[in-house]
Every structure is written in C-alpha cells, then in structure tokens.
A and B are shown apart, each in its own frame.
Chain A
Amino acid sequence: MPSIEFKNVSYAYVDANETHLALEDINLEIRDGEFLCLVGHSGCGKSTMLSLIAGLERSTKGEVLIDGKPIAGPGPDRSIVFQNYSLFPWQTAMKNIVFAMQQTNKQMSKTAVESRAHELLQQVGVADAADRYPSQLSGGMRQRVAIARALAIDAPVMLLDEPFGALDPMIRRRLQDMLLDLWKGSCCKTAVFVTHDIDEALILADRIVFMEPRHVIKTFDLPTDRDRTAAENDPVMRAVKEEVLELFEATETGREEE
C-alpha cells in the first residue's frame, strides 16, 4: 500500500505574467516506511514535488494522495526540514522543539514535552546548546536542531529539502549518518529527501528517483540491507551511481532553461 501517491500531477506557476510549467503528468508511488531520494539538477521540480506533499502548494492538475486521501493543505501529519533559516529565530533551540511539540500534540504534559525535547536534543548532539538562539548556532547545529524539531512533531511522513546543502562535506557526512540512525530508530517513517548530490542519495535512499525538468525519468531500487558506508565498493551501487551521473550529464541542457 503506497503511503504517498502522485496521480497525473502537473504544477504551473505564474511569474511576471508568464506561466511556467514546473511538473508535468507526474505519476509516482512512495511506499510506506520508505526512504526516497529525489535527485536532479536545480530547478527540475524536485522541491516542488516536496511542496506538493507538504501541502504548501496545490497541484494545478491531478492529485497527490496520502493514505488514499487527497492532501488538503499543510498539517502536522507531515514534518519538514528546509535547507536553512526555518527555525524560529526568537526561540532558543530547546524552545523551538518544545513549541513544535506543544502545537502539534496538545495532550502531552509540560514535563513530558520538556524531557522529550531534551532527549531529542541529546540524540542530535546539541544538548549543550539547548539555551542558545539559532543565530548563535553554526549551520550544522542549526540543521541538527531542525531535524530534532521535525522528529518532535512525530509525523509519519518526513520531508527534507536539501537539508545539508549548505554544509561542509565533513559535517554533511556526519549529519547523513545521524539522520540515517534516527530514521532507523524512529522506525517506519516515510522519508522524502531532495538532493542534487548523488553520493548523499546513495548513502540514504532505499530508492532514488531521478528527475529531469518536469518529469520523473527513472527510479532505482537499492538493496535495503546494503552497507551504506561502503557504497563505493558495492558493484550494484557503483552501477547505479554511474547511470545517475550519466543522466545528470544528459539532462545538463535542461538546466539552462530554468
């Protein structure tokens, strides 16, 4: 049973009196509990796919379903992590998480919320910075807090829009491992992760979906029991990587249009 389903979805937006088509007749099923990476050049529509699942944008044609029901708008059954600047700058790291939990789960007692928030901060490794404001945190720490906040909302679907795009390679690697651990630990959340970094996708994904402008052109199923840290040496993974890199090159021209 698919968790998220795109049915003939098109999305167009108007900019300076011109209509641009960002997605055209997309059909895609995202399985329950799957870690899916959307890969493609900048402007190929992968972030738009995420916005549609989030309910922040509405498809112009076709529909996006979650558990068989069309998405009506944004809601706490999905959580989202952006590339940057999505934490509330007027709240400390701790307060950001506490606030998200209080707003999405009103039954939880104050002490339960606080201890859970503390636990989450510990899991993402920023417990020491709980009382700092986002402006006082490094880019990596901010993204750790943002992930903790997304987990705090405890939604079955987690959406990540290039969350590590602005980070140094070293920190990026560490956060990828952390995210993977947390995802395995939380068990059976559906994750949709947007990136243009094929190595990142190979480490994280169960399935890679490659997009060229407006279309999904190919999906790759990856072995779920693979050693994700040794992707370089696995022949299957190498083959996938090579094919994706070829696709990147083949769709290069499409980039200029955007």
Chain B
Amino acid sequence: MADLVETRKELEKREKQERLVKPSFIIANVLFVITMIAIAVPGKVTPNSSYQFYIAVVLVELLFIWRYLAGGKKRSTCNIASVVWVLFIAWEVAATDLKVTHPVLVPIPENVFAVYTRIPEELARNVVSSMTLLCQGFLTSLVIATVVGLFVGWLPKVRETVFPIAKVLAPIPAIVFTPYLVMLLHSFRAAAVMVIFLGILWPTLMNTILRVQNLDRRIVDSARMMGLSTPTMIFRVLLPYLYPTIVTGLKVQLPAAMLMLVMAEMYGASSGLGYFVINYTNYGNYTNVVAGIIMVGVVVTILDCLVSLLIRKTVKWSE
C-alpha cells in the first residue's frame, strides 16, 4: 500500500514537472522570435549584411530544439536558451537598434557574425594552427605521462622519489616558461608545444602514479596467479585499468591545454587563435576580436563534446 502511495506521489510530481516544462519552452521560443524581430527592425546603425547573424541565431535555435528533444533536463535546456536569447536581444537592441553603446569598443552583432563569411580562410587557418600545436603537445604529454606513470607507480622505490618531485613541479604554471622557452627553443611553435607538454605532464603523471598505486593488490595477485607475461600484464591489465582515468582526465586537461595555448599564442606567435585575437586588438578591430573570442568558445566546446562522447562510448565499467 505504502509503495502505491509513493508511486502515485512520484508520478504526480513528474507530471507537474512535465507541465512546467511547457511554459519555459514557449518562453524560450518567444524570445527566439523577439531576437529575429530585433534584427529585422531597422535601427540607428545599418549593417552591411545581416544574414550571417540570422543564420547564427537559427543555428542556436536548432541546437536548442535538438537538445530539448534528445537530452534530459528539458527545463534547464529551455532556461539556458532563454538566457542566450536575452543576451542576443540586449546586444542587438543596445548596439544596433539604439546605438547606446560605444560604437568602436562594442561592435554590432551583425558585423561580428559577418566576420565568419568575410575572412573564413584566415579563421580556419588559425584554428588549424592552434589545433595542430594542441594535438602535438597534448598527445606527446599524455603518452609519456602514462608510460612513465605506469612504471613509477608500479615500483614503490621509484615512486617515493618521483612523486614528491612531481608534486613540487606540478603547481608551477607552465605559462611562465613561455618567454624562456621561446629563447631556448628558437621557435615559437616548439615553445608552445613545450608549454602544453609541461602543463599537462605533471598532473597526468601524478594521476597515473596514484591510480597505479591504488590498484587493488588482489587484482594484481589474481593476474600474477595466471602467470601473465609482462606485455600481457601491461596491455591487458594495467592499461585497461588506467584507460577511464586517462579519458576522464581529458575533460579537465583539454580546456587547460587550450588555455595555455591561447595565452602562449598571445605572447608571441604569428598564427593561431590567440594570435588572431591579440593581433586585431592591437589594430583596434574589435569586430574581429569578438568574432575570434566566440570562435575560441566554439572550439573549446566542440573539443569538450568530443571528449564526452568518447567517454560515453568507450568507458563501460566502474569499480
């Protein structure tokens, strides 16, 4: 009986939530329409072309509808969309329609989104440049940290020496090495890769060491009883055991690497997203600057989504 009452309460609660979802969905879509109207209304500033902004707004709307239909937490999805629309409306109304913001420092949204069709090659080139450096630094670091961490974690004597050293070196922000590394390595690209490498190496190494150290002795003993060869022990026991730590680590490490890279690029590169932003800041072209900043956000978000997808598809077990 008690169970039934519980179940009914639960159902009623859920129904209530379902109903609550609907108004917030309507609000989000009304705000979308208002955004479109705000762009359509002729304002004090007349942009050269508005279609890029329309496309961006429609893409955001499509993304929202997709997340609404496919994802859980429907109400939060609606709320997030509403916040985005309010920001877009505020920007559009203040900058284009009423022209109450600084005309140079706050570029109008139409012009910002037009950048993506005006100089697509330049943007793409910089994204590719950044991603290449990111991959180089990141992958080398990940492989080396995992291999070294595996052996250090496995051998207690080595671990007791290496771990304290890693603990002291890890908190030094890798970014402070940039100027020195540029002098040392003669090439900015090598220095940027090195900065990412250093930034990722220590935390990943420490994680791996701790993880190997915490591997349950009975699991190791079971493996030893099977008389496994060393390669089998590494590839069929230790690496499968470490894999979830490695990929979930990416979730934190990848944005961290991106941060270091963009900062390094702003320091003295001749390509890359950080360079794109700092270069146009120096020229006072804030339209391109804002477009570049949005681009960085999009790239980081895509990387994060890819990592989430990788985790969801490949990490099937837990302890």
Chain A residues within CB distance 8 Å of chain B:
54, 56, 73-76, 78-80, 82-91, 99-100, 103-104, 133-135, 153
Contacts and interface: CB of A to CB of B under 8 A. Distances in A.
A73 B228 CA distance: 12
Secondary structure of the A contact surface, majority rule: loop
Nearest to B222: A86
Interface string B210-233: 000000101101111111100010
Interface stretch (B38-46, B150-158, B190-198, B311-319): B311-319
A24 B318 CA distance: 41
Given A90-B241, A90-B317, A100 B221 contact: no
A191 to B, nearest CB: 15
B226 A100 contact: yes
B218 A82 contact: yes
Contacts of B218: 82-86
Contacts of A103: 226-228, 232
B240 interface: yes
B67 interface: no
B226 A85 contact: no
B227 A76 contact: yes
A91 B218 CA distance: 15
A74 B219 contact: no
25 contacts: A73-B224, A74-B224, A74-B225, A80-B225, A83-B218, A85-B218, A85-B219, A86-B216, A86-B219, A86-B222, A88-B219, A88-B237, A89-B241, A89-B317, A90-B240, A90-B241, A90-B317, A91-B240, A103-B228, A103-B232, A104-B226, A133-B316, A133-B317, A134-B317, A135-B318
B293 to A, nearest CB: 41
Given A56-B225, A80-B221, A91-B240, 8 more contacts: A74-B221, A76-B227, A82-B218, A87-B222, A88-B241, A89-B241, A100-B226, A133-B316
B74 to A, nearest CB: 28
Interface string B277-292: 0000000000000000
B104 to A, nearest CB: 57
B236 interface: yes
Nearest to A134: B317
A103 B225 CA distance: 10
Contacts of A104: 226-227
Contact of B318 (A83, A87, A89, A99): A89
A151 to B, nearest CB: 13
